Amino acid sequence: MDDFAVNRDVEAIKQLKARYFRLLDTKDWAGLRGLFTDDLVVDTTGSGGGVVAGADAFVGFVSSHLAEAVTVHHGHTPEITLTSPSEATGIWAMEDRIWFANGTAVTGFGHYHETYVKIDDAWRISSSTLTRLRVELTGSTTT
């Protein structure tokens, strides 16, 4: 691949992840669903969660847990590697803040480790593993 094509694809993946953060925080579940391959696998075991297989299942899980919460997600310092013209990997430093209706607030710091696939000229997230370096909890822990 020439440098122009590499730069174009890396920028497209950065834009994809930026949309992920925005659509998640604005609760645009249909838009969020469009960012993933159908066979998406999300692994949050490294941050205390589980594994969710399938894009519809993941969006259902996220929407059921975060619909009433205020969230702010940030991704920084992407390390994106094109492994073929239609596949890539990426690592993103991340910070997320979640304020739940019961008064509990969570601030997390860590990394997303992801894979991407280019389908019909558009990049999609095909897997995401979230690891956390630190989690801060404040407020009520009762529901």
State the pLDDT at residue 46: 86
143: pLDDT strictly greater than 60: no
pLDDT of residue 141: 59
CB-count burial class (<10 Å; 0-12, 13-18, 19+) for 143: exposed
Write out the two tokens for 41. 């696998």
31 or 46: which leads in pLDDT: 31
The residue count for the chain: 143
The tens digit of pLDDT for each residue in 70-99 reads 999 999 999 999 999 999 999 999 999 999
In this structure, whether the domain defined by 3-138 belongs to CATH 3.30.465.10 is answered with: no
Is pLDDT at 3 greater than 90 in this prediction? no
Number of H helices, E strands in the chain: 3, 6
- At 5 the pLDDT is 86
Terminal-to-terminal C-alpha distance of the chain: 53
